[in-house]
């Protein structure tokens, strides 16, 4: 592990550029920093690069240029073990991506068993605690296909939490859900935020952003245009014409 | 239950059709005056012919309480035969080398069953090797490394593009000579390498049919690529590829009949030998076909059971 700088910052990105092989310029000099315990919501129109940016933070996407430092570790240092880094960064996907061949509890237990190699009894107890916490204690032994979307997403959150990460990334966690199930997932996320988890959330749920976020980032065309507290973002004052247009379109 | 009478009608039609085909085969054989002799096949399935016990040197016989003792002239230790069913010499007879001394009743596997077991052995060993080769080739094919990708591509194209019979000859006459392979080993190598190419393509398509999100989710939990493959991708891919895999492995059993060309006495070669010995051509080949069907339907049944067991999840 390369401890370049381990301080109050959970994530530091500097001039992050991402150009896809088809010459699509997805991220343009994105520079920001996220503190420990901070809840940051990224908003923006589709194709603005917000999901791409989120995915660069655990290297599901590599970057073309720039620097990313997560928990004091420079991600692109050749001595960095990316798997070790990912253990510390949980991720929740828009399409849940639960493992369909495993039961709910096995989904939660897989990584602690196979990656951390913890004893099974300990992992089992921890999985039960986590599933209780997301309100799915009675669904432990069913397969993901038998769950509703909202339930699946809560299992996915429990699965990510099982590795005891210091930071959670949420990639449009409620976009694939029926409207009546959005609330149950957001409630779990709110309780996580209240416990002090560092969270970066890409979402279209402006209510959640307004209520829970410490900061809101607005991206468009791969550029980080606005970085402000939610009061200023959602306030009545027109602080940025592009942001104003985006918000008036979706609200 | 409203549909019942309607369905019954079709079941009856099915039974009539099968009976009709059987009757057709029978009457076709009548027109060429073929004399069906099914009993001739039986000795090649269960061999009940007695075993001859032959003298191995000159000497003399003595019989005591149904126990035949041969004392050899050259001082070799006496031979005592207790378990003979028919003794064909008398007490005090002089014995010469090669004399028939006694017969022993014996029930053993016929030539066809021995051939069946050889076919089973070749198929099972080749099955495991072809699954292993296929898995390695499939993983190489989907890797980003151009070396392993191209190597796997070349392997699949060359093997799929040439006939199995030719491959068996090449393995037996070329590789077999260079590496001093036994014919049995050569047969297994040819079959495994041939089937491995098809298994590789089946597994590759299975792996690629799994949503990329599964790999991303596994990697985001800190799993390495091999661990994600082993615990997340492959179990799902195996399940999806079971139906085409069943066809391919059934093909393997059937393709194993081709190794008879390098003089391995498998079921097919045994069948050819029995035909030349019994002249019951039709009966023998129908029996051989039924024995192959026994192997393939057992495998098919086993894979269907696995499929059913896996069906309840995902």
pLDDT tens-digit map of B187-212: 999 999 999 999 999 999 999 999 99
**Pairing state between β A39-43 and A215-220:** parallel
Smallest CA–CA distance, residue B228 to chain A, in Å, is 10
Which helix (DSSP H) or strand (DSSP E) does residue A129 occupy? helix A120-133
| Mean pLDDT for chain A overall | 90
What's the sign of the alpha-carbon dihedral A205, A207, A211, A216? Answer: positive
Q: Is B251 left (phi over 0), alpha (psi -120 to 50) or beta?
A: alpha
Evaluated on CA atoms B159, B162, B164, B170, the torsion sign reads negative
User: pLDDT class for A3, splitting at 50, 70, 90?
Assistant: very low
Supply the pLDDT for residue B17: 97
Q: Which residues pair with A23 in a beta bridge?
A: none
Contact B221 A99 (CB under 8 A): no
Strand partners, A143: none
Query: Do B292 and B258 meet the contact criterion of CB atoms below 8 Å apart?
Result: no
DSSP H or E stretch at residue A66: strand A65-70
Cβ distance A98 to B217 less than 8 Å, yes or no, reads yes
Chain A, window 106-135: residues with a beta carbon less than 8 angstroms from a chain B beta carbon: 110-111, 114-115
Q: Does the beta-carbon distance from A111 to B213 stay under 8 Å? A: no
List the single residue in B216, B223, B224 with the smallest CB-CB distance to A60: B216
Question: How many CB atoms lie under 10 A from the CB of residue A128?
Answer: 15
- Rounded to whole angstroms, the Cα distance separating B183 from B189 reads 10
Burial of B256 (0-12, 13-18, 19+ CB in 10 A): buried
Q: Which residues of A touch B231 (CB under 8 A)?
A: 110, 114
Asked whether the beta carbons of residue A143 and residue B312 sit closer than 8 angstroms, the reply is yes
3-class SS letters over chain B: CCCHHHHHHHHHHHHHHHHHHHHHHHHHHHHCCCCCCHHHCHHHCEECCCEEEECCCCEEEEEECCEEEEEECCCCCCEEECCCCEECCCCCCEECCCCEEEEECCCEECHHHHHHHHHHHHHHHHHHHHHHHHHHHHHHHHCCCHHHHHHHHHHHHHHHCCCHHHHHHHHHHHHHHHCCCCHHHHHHHHHHHHHHHHHHHHHHHHHHCCCHHHHHHHHHCCCCHHHHHHHHHHHHHHHHCHHHHHHHHHHHHHHHHHHHHHCCCCHHHHHHHHHHHHCCHHHHHHHHHHHHHHHHHHHHHHHHHHHHHHHCCC
As a dihedral over the C-alpha atoms of residue B95, residue B100, residue B101, residue B105, rounded to 10 degrees, the angle is 170
Give A5-29 pLDDT, tens digit per residue: 557 889 999 999 999 999 899 999 9
Q: How far is A130 from chain B (nearest CA, A)?
A: 16
State residue B2's pLDDT score: 60
pLDDT at A64 over 90: yes
| Residue A80 touches partner B, C-beta closer than 8 Å | no
pLDDT score, position B157: 96
Least CA distance to B227: which residue of chain A? Answer: A114
Chain-chain contact of B227 with A101 (C-beta, under 8 angstroms):
no
CA distances B217 to A108, A173, A203, B2, B200, Å, are 12, 13, 19, 48, 25
Higher per-residue confidence, A237 vs A87: A87
Q: CB contact, 8 Å: A93 with chain B?
A: yes
Q: What is the pLDDT of residue B202?
A: 96
Q: Report pLDDT for A1.
A: 39
Write out residues 11-70 of A within 8 Å (CB-CB) of B. Answer: 58, 60
> Distance, in angstroms, between A86 CA and closest chain B CA?
5
Torsion of CA A177, A183, A188, A190, to 10 degrees: 120
Residue B103's DSSP bridge partners are: B52, B86
Q: Across the interface, do A100 and B314 touch by the CB < 8 Å criterion?
A: yes
Whether B131 and B200 have beta carbons less than 8 Å apart is answered as no
**Across the interface, do A98 and B216 touch by the CB < 8 Å criterion?**
no
With an 8 Å Cβ cutoff, is A90 touching chain B? yes
> Do the Cβ atoms of A186 and A29 come closer than 8 Å?
no
C-alpha distance from A214 to closest chain B C-alpha (Å): 25
Residues of chain B with pLDDT under 50: 314
CB spacing of A101 vs B314 below 8 angstroms: yes
Nearest Cα of chain A lies from the Cα of B220 at a distance, in angstroms, of: 6
Q: Which of B216, B227, B231 sits opposite A97 (nearest CB)?
A: B216
| pLDDT > 60? residue A181 | yes
């Amino acid at each position: 592990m390369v401890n370049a700088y381990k301080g109050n910052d959970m994530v530091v990105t500097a001039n992050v550029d991402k150009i896809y092989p088809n010459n699509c310029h997805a991220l343009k000099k994105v520079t920001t920093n996220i503190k420990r315990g901070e809840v940051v919501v990224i908003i923006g129109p589709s194709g603005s690069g917000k999901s791409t940016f989120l995915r660069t933070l655990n290297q599901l996407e590599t970057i073309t240029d720039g620097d990313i430092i997560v928990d004091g570790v420079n991600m692109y240092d050749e001595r960095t073990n990316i798997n070790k880094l990912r253990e510390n960064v949980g991720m929740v996907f828009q399409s849940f991506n639960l493992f369909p061949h495993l039961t709910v509890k096995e989904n939660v237990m897989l990584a602690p068993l196979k990656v951390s190699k913890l004893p099974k009894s300990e992992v089992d107890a921890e999985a039960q605690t986590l599933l209780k916490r997301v309100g799915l204690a009675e669904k432990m032994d069913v397969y993901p296909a038998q769950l509703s979307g909202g339930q699946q997403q809560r299992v996915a959150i429990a699965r990510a939490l099982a590795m005891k990460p210091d930071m959670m990334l949420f990639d449009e966690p409620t976009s694939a859900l029926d409207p009546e199930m959005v609330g149950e997932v957001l409630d779990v996320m709110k309780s996580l935020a209240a416990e002090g988890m560092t969270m970066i959330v890409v979402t279209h749920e402006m209510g959640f952003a307004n209520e829970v976020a410490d900061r809101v980032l607005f991206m468009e065309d791969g550029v980080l245009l606005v970085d402000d507290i939610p009061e200023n973002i959602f306030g009545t004052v027109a602080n940025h014409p592009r942001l104003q247009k985006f918000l008036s379109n979706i609200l | 239950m409203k549909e019942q009478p309607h369905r019954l009608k079709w079941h009856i039609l099915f039974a009539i059709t099968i009976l009709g085909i059987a009757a057709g085969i029978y009457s076709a054989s009548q027109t060429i005056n073929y004399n069906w002799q099914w009993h001739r096949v039986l000795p090649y399935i269960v061999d009940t012919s007695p075993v001859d016990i032959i003298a191995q040197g000159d000497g003399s016989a003595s019989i005591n309480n149904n126990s035949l003792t041969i004392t050899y002239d050259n001082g070799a230790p006496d031979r005592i035969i207790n378990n003979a069913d028919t003794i064909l010499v008398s007490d005090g007879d002089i014995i010469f080398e090669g004399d028939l001394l006694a017969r022993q009743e014996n029930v053993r596997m016929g030539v066809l069953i021995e051939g069946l077991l050889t076919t089973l052995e070749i198929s099972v060993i080749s099955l495991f090797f072809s699954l292993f080769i296929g898995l390695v080739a499939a993983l190489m094919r989907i890797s980003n490394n151009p070396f392993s990708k191209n190597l796997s591509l070349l392997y699949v194209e060359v093997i799929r593009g040439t006939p199995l019979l030719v491959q068996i000859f090449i393995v037996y006459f070329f590789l077999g000579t260079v590496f001093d392979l036994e014919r049995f080993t050569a047969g297994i190598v040819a079959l495994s390498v041939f089937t491995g190419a098809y298994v590789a393509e089946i597994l590759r398509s299975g792996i690629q049919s799994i949503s990329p999100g599964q790999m991303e989710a596994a990697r985001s939990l800190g799993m390495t690529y091999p661990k994600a493959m082993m615990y997340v991708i492959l179990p799902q891919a195996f399940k999806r590829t079971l139906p085409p895999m069943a066809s391919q492995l059934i093909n393997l059993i059937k393709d194993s009949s081709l190794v008879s060309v390098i003089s391995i006495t498998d079921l097919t070669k045994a069948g050819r030998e029995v035909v030349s010995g019994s002249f019951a051509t039709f009966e023998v080949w129908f029996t051989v076909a039924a024995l192959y069907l026994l192997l393939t339907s057992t495998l098919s049944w086993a894979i269907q059971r696995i499929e059913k067991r896996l069906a309840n999840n995902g």
